[in-house]
């Protein structure tokens, strides 16, 4: 009886249908994706009564986008190529978005509602020049609206309907740089004004219908002009002389040139300083930036200049906006009293304000860089205005009726560098102060939940409830978790702003616009270079916050003055800022920490001196103990030289600086410039963990990885092959790769790929390097792998010696002794072009590795490292198959399910960062470009944890059923035994 019951119970459990099911995918549960557009440089409003109100923008990240004016969301977006810089943006025919890009070479029309490309025209030219896009109003040629374009020395008239070039005029012969295109709609004449050099002015008149030259004139200005020409009316231009002390007024009436000049000192008192014309289009007016003030000047009907107003603390001036026939308005903003003061003025009536508002804006956004305005009609038939502001931190803000309608953190589209920080340890108990501070939010949250339960919540309430649930979810907590999935991503943007992003949901925990990287008189062109972990407390984790070091310059060249900033990783507070007396050419994090767990860094300047930070006596003592073991290298790509360096002694100068050191050159590798040019170098991560040096082969054989943190991979190409793919023949192209020891300068491995060229993308991990390049002979991309093994331990080939400890693995490895190494390599075809390559990293290095490949399609492909094993053969033996060797094929497989970004595109992908979690099976992946994407992956599956969709209820039910079965079986067994005894 008992034997029958138990199988029946198991059959019931196996056939029962439970409501717990497995999702087809888990997209969105462990990853997040954020879309951005970058810093806006052109904006055009489209607010007709029909259709959605939107603003069309182009950005410095070569993005064209349509944004919803109500919420700031992206209707549609296109990311152009890296070299396809957008020069102009406008709307034509009320339904096309017109863009000019690639220095005036490509003109495109996009559908306004959905962003589909309607047509594309290529406008070739013979000479690089300034590019101008002009979409005239009511200018037709044979009932076809014209689009006027100047670029590459040629003037084009293009059909607005189909993009056909109707006529073209080449102006490159006269070396004219066209500054303005002026239409005359009544007589079908187009006027063009430009400069040849900086002092000769040309003016042309063309027939709009066929492009015939109607009239031309030229005149020599009495001095060189500064900053080009600015149009202030249909036929009047203004310019500054080269000394910026005079204003030149140029009149082009009837195609004839006449000009007069005016001293700035005669118009403006206290006019010392360098004047600059602000490129804002104001009818009959222009703005002059002088001594940090904006001076507005107007041209009277008799040709005289008068000062309209002098604005202090002004940040930006908008272009003029036509609000009615003959009436134009424009806006300017002032900073003061911790607020932004917005003024909208009528060009023809300066004494009255169309709008005057004060807006409170987070000071961490910095100053206003640009402003665009748009008008609308209120219910009382008066004019209202909305302003789109581009901030110093590249964020975008829409202001209306004195309030911020929406904001976008588009500075995150230009991430420069990334590091990570652990979250604080969760403490037991909650302070009274925290409860009192959040009491209102607590009550508000419960009211929203009650409304949701009663099904009376509005759509806004539903969105707020979902946001609250997201914030209160396990993955969004602001404390460390046991598995190490929750961390802070500390990112530095091109604007000099630092963000802390939560890995759980990608929200901004804090952000800070560093004062050391803000534009000022002392630092006119600040540039953020990199960000490093500065202080990482371990045993003081409950008492001290970690901090990061930000390195920047006041200019793009390495000779520019340097700045350092130290930031608290938990709060974003700038702990300290230093303006250095020396430059920064290279930053070297040392493997030493002081008693406060601050990491020592060497900063190398352009004068061949090394500076130690932190500048403390303890840091000096620590460095002195390891003085003879500090080595680094430098790469001079232009000269084809790689040098190795070591510390020598303290600097010798008028002032003794014990934290300054001179260094000596240990070695140098000089590549022949006539045959090789350096295009790529890569080294191992300094914090990479290698689980074991031994690699067990077939037949109990063992090979030992050559593990060294001092290895450098170098990729060189032929000088002619440095250009784009296809610009050189296979016979003239070759790729040479090296693996170099950076302590001694020894070349451990060298290999040549004939008929191949770059670009080269590579990743170095453990004892192997994988690199990607283009094969001109096969017309395909290739990926090659090189693995380096240590032959000095070749006697330890028996795996039993390794198990029993009878080996010499504990003997020291020195770079000074010539290593006995052997390299194994193999090449494979690969379908895609590559933007970036990274490798997964885990906390102990036990889990098998995957290559993360950023493809040309802006997605990330996870490729098992076993596919790039140099030991692959066409017919592997049974032992090799058991070891995991995959049969050799000529190309690497691309499996659609292996894309960790799923169907998402990380537009403008530039870099991939991997961070180990505390759970050995899992690696965290952060991908950045114009978009941001984060996920976590398990290359060997989650062998050390249960999956999130594991059915705990089914497990519990099974246990209960088994216990019940055991009990029933025991009862039946006892009963049967009792019956047997009575017989």
* Within a domain: 822: yes
User: Would you state the pLDDT for residue 353?
Assistant: 83
Q: What does the pLDDT average to over 509-518?
A: 89
Q: Among 983, 968, 972, which Cα is nearest to 9's? A: 968
User: Residue 913's CB: how many other CB atoms inside 10 A?
Assistant: 21
* Within a domain: 753: yes
Residue ending a domain, among 806, 830, 854, is 830
| 697 and 742 housed in the same domain | yes
Q: Does residue 39 carry a pLDDT above 90?
A: yes
User: Would you state the pLDDT for residue 109?
Assistant: 94
* Within a domain: 722: yes
What does the DSSP assignment read for 206-275?
A: EETTT--EEEEEEEE-SS-EEEEEEEEETTEEEEEETTS-EEEEEE-GGG--EEEEEEHHHHSSS--S--
Q: Does residue 17 carry a pLDDT above 60?
A: no
Q: What does the pLDDT average to over 550-559?
A: 86
Q: What does the pLDDT average to over 783-804?
A: 72
Cβ contact 138:187 at 8 Å: no
| 785 and 838 housed in the same domain | no
Q: Among 309, 397, 400, 404, which Cα is nearest to 351's? A: 309
* Within a domain: 304: no
User: Would you state the pLDDT for residue 404?
Assistant: 92
What does the DSSP assignment read for 41-63?
A: EEEEEE--SSS--EEEEEETTSE
Q: Among 225, 162, 158, which Cα is nearest to 190's? A: 158
User: Residue 323's CB: how many other CB atoms inside 10 A?
Assistant: 18
Residue ending a domain, among 457, 477, 497, is 477
User: Would you state the pLDDT for residue 189?
Assistant: 83
User: Would you state the pLDDT for residue 141?
Assistant: 63
The least confident of 70-84, 339-353, 927-941 is: 339-353
- Work out the percent of the chain whose per-residue pLDDT is above 90: 38
| 854 and 721 housed in the same domain | no
State the chain's mean pLDDT as an integer. 84
C-alpha span between 326 and 346 (Å, rounded): 11
Residue ending a domain, among 422, 445, 477, is 477
The least confident of 120-129, 750-759, 813-822, 876-885 is: 813-822
* Within a domain: 890: yes
* Within a domain: 815: yes
User: Would you state the pLDDT for residue 830?
Assistant: 93
411 against 224, higher pLDDT: 411
Distance of CA 813 to the CA centre of its chain: 40
| 688 and 826 housed in the same domain | yes
| 691 and 818 housed in the same domain | yes
Q: What does the pLDDT average to over 935-948?
A: 82
| 696 and 781 housed in the same domain | yes
C-alpha span between 577 and 122 (Å, rounded): 49
| 689 and 726 housed in the same domain | yes
| 961 and 921 housed in the same domain | no
Q: Does residue 900 carry a pLDDT above 60?
A: yes
User: Would you state the pLDDT for residue 20?
Assistant: 31
Cβ contact 65:59 at 8 Å: yes
| 973 and 879 housed in the same domain | no
Q: What does the pLDDT average to over 126-148?
A: 78
Q: Among 879, 913, 467, which Cα is nearest to 698's? A: 879
Name the residue range of residue 967's domain: 954-978
The least confident of 204-213, 257-266, 892-901, 905-914 is: 257-266
Return the structure tokens found at 626. Answer: 């390891």
Cβ contact 249:305 at 8 Å: yes
Q: Does residue 858 carry a pLDDT above 60?
A: yes
User: Would you state the pLDDT for residue 520?
Assistant: 77
| 757 and 842 housed in the same domain | no
Cβ contact 750:736 at 8 Å: yes
The least confident of 397-406, 602-611, 946-955 is: 946-955
Q: Does residue 66 carry a pLDDT above 50?
A: yes
Q: Is 455 left (phi over 0), alpha (psi -120 to 50) or beta?
A: left
User: Would you state the pLDDT for residue 9?
Assistant: 37
Cβ contact 536:599 at 8 Å: yes
- Give the count of domains, the chain: 4
| 756 and 775 housed in the same domain | yes
Residues in contact with 531: Cβ distance below 8 Å, sequence separation at least 6, in sequence order: 416, 417, 418, 419, 490, 491, 492, 498, 548, 549, 550, 551
Of 233-237, 360-364, 676-680, the range with the highest mean pLDDT is 676-680
User: Would you state the pLDDT for residue 963?
Assistant: 94
**Residue linked to tokens 């109707």:** 166
| 790 and 822 housed in the same domain | yes
> 716 falls in which pLDDT band (50, 70, 90)?
very high
C-alpha span between 758 and 973 (Å, rounded): 78
pTM, 2 dp: 0.87
C-alpha span between 948 and 485 (Å, rounded): 13
User: Would you state the pLDDT for residue 612?
Assistant: 93
* Within a domain: 288: no
How confident is the model over 659-710, as pLDDT tens digits? 899 999 999 999 998 999 999 999 999 888 888 887 777 666 778 888 888 9
DSSP-derived 3-state class of residue 972: helix
Cβ contact 770:868 at 8 Å: yes
C-alpha angle 394-397-398 in degrees, rounded to nearest 5: 150
* Within a domain: 571: no
Cβ contact 479:425 at 8 Å: yes
Looking at beta carbons, which pairs linking 292-299 to residues 24 or more positions away fall under 8 Å? 294/332, 295/268, 297/247, 297/267, 299/232, 299/233, 299/236, 299/249
> 867 falls in which pLDDT band (50, 70, 90)?
very high
């Amino acid at each position: 009886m008992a034997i029958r019951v138990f199988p029946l119970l198991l059959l019931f459990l196996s056939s029962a249908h439970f409501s717990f099911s497995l999702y087809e995918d888990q997209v969105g549960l462990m990853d997040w994706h954020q879309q951005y557009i970058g810093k806006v440089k052109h904006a055009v409003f489209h607010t007709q009564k029909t259709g959605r109100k939107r603003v069309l923008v182009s950005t410095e990240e070569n993005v064209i986008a349509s944004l919803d004016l109500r919420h700031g969301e992206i209707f549609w977006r296109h990311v152009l190529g890296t070299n396809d810089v957008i020069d102009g943006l406008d709307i034509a025919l009320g339904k096309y978005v017109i863009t000019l890009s690639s220095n005036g070479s490509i003109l495109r029309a996009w559908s306004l509602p959905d962003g589909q490309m309607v047509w594309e025209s290529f406008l070739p030219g013979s000479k690089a020049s300034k590019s101008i896009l002009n979409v005239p109003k009511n200018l037709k040629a044979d009932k076809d609206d014209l689009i006027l374009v100047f670029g590459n020395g040629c003037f084009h008239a293009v059909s607005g309907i189909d993009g056909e070039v109707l006529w073209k005029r080449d102006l490159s012969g006269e070396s004219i740089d066209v500054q303005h295109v002026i239409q005359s709609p009544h007589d079908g004449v187009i006027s063009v004004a430009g400069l040849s050099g900086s002092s000769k002015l040309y003016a042309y008149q063309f027939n709009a219908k066929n492009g015939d030259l109607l009239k031309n004139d030229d005149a020599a200005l009495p001095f060189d002009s500064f900053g080009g020409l600015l149009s202030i009316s249909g036929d009047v231009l203004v310019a500054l002389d080269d000394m910026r002390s005079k204003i030149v007024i140029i009149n082009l009436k009837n195609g004839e040139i006449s000009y007069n000049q005016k001293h700035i000192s005669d118009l403006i008192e206290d006019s010392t300083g360098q004047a600059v014309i602000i490129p804002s289009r104001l009818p009959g007016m222009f703005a002059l930036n002088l001594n940090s003030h904006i001076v507005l000047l107007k041209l009277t009907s008799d040709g005289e200049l008068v000062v309209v107003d002098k604005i202090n603390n002004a940040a930006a001036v908008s272009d003029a906006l036509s609000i009615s026939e003959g009436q134009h308005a424009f806006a300017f903003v002032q900073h003061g009293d911790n607020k932004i003061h917005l003024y909208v003025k009528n060009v023809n009536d300066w004494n009255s304000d169309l709008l005057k508002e004060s807006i409170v804006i987070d000071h961490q956004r910095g100053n206003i860089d640009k402003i665009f305005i748009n008008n609308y009609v209120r219910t009382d038939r008066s004019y209202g205005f909305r302003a789109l502001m581009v901030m110093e931190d590249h964020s975008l803000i829409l202001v209306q009726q004195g309030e911020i309608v929406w904001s976008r953190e588009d500075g995150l589209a230009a991430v420069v560098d990334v590091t990570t920080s652990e979250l604080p340890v969760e403490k037991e108990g909650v302070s009274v102060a925290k409860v009192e501070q959040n009491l209102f939010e607590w009550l508000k949250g419960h009211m929203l939940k009650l409304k949701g339960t009663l099904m009376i919540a509005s759509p806004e309430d539903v969105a707020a409830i979902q946001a609250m649930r997201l914030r209160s979810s396990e993955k969004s907590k602001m404390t460390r978790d046991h598995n190490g999935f929750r961390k802070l991503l500390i990112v530095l943007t091109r604007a000099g702003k630092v963000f802390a992003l939560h890995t759980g949901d990608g929200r901004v925990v804090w952000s800070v616009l560093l004062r050391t990287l803000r534009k000022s008189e002392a630092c006119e062109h600040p540039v953020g270079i990199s960000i490093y972990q500065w202080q990482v407390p371990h045993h003081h984790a409950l008492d001290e916050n970690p901090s990061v070091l930000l390195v920047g310059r006041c200019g793009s060249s390495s000779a520019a003055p340097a700045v350092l900033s130290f930031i608290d990783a938990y709060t974003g507070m700038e702990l300290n800022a230093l303006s250095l007396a020396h430059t920064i050419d290279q930053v070297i994090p040392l493997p030493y920490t002081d008693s406060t767990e601050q990491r020592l860094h060497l900063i190398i300047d352009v004068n061949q001196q090394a500076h130690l930070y932190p500048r403390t006596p303890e840091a000096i003592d620590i460095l002195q103990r390891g003085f003879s073991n500090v080595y680094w290298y430098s790469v001079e790509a232009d000269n084809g030289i790689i040098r190795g360096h070591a510390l020598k002694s303290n600097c010798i100068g008028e002032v003794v600086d014990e934290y300054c050191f001179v260094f000596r050159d240990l070695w140098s590798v000089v590549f022949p410039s006539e045959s090789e040019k350096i295009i790529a170098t890569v080294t191992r991560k300094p914090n990479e963990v290698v689980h074991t040096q031994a690699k067990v082969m077939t037949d109990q054989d063992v090979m030992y990885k050559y593990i060294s943190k001092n290895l450098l991979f170098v990729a060189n190409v032929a000088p002619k092959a440095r250009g784009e793919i296809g610009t050189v023949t296979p016979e003239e192209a070759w790729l040479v790769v090296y693996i170099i020891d950076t302590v001694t300068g020894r070349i451990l491995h060298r290999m040549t790929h004939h008929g191949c060229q770059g670009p080269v993308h590579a990743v170095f991990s453990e004892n192997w390097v994988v690199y990607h390049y283009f094969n001109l002979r096969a017309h395909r991309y290739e990926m090659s792998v090189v693995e380096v093994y240590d032959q000095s331990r070749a006697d330890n080939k028996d795996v039993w010696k390794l198990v029993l400890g009878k080996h010499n693995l504990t003997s020291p490895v020195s770079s000074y002794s010539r290593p006995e190494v052997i390299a194994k390599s193999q090449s494979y075809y690969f379908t895609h072009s590559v933007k970036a390559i990274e490798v997964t990293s885990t906390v102990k290095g036990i889990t098998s590795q995957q290559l993360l490949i950023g493809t040309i399609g802006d997605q990330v492909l996870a490729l098992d490292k076993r596919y790039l094993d140099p030991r692959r053969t066409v017919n592997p033996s049974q032992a090799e198959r058991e070891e995991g060797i995959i049969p050799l094929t000529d190309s690497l497989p691309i499996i659609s399910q292996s894309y960790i970004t799923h169907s998402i595109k990380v537009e403008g992908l530039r870099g991939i960062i991997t961070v180990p979690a505390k759970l050995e099976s899992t690696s965290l992946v952060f991908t950045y470009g114009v978009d941001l994407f984060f996920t976590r992956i398990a290359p060997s599956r989650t062998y050390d944890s249960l999956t999130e969709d594991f059915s705990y209820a089914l497990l519990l039910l099974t246990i209960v059923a088994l216990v019940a079965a055991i009990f029933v079986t025991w009862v039946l067994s006892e009963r049967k035994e009792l019956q047997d005894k009575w017989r």
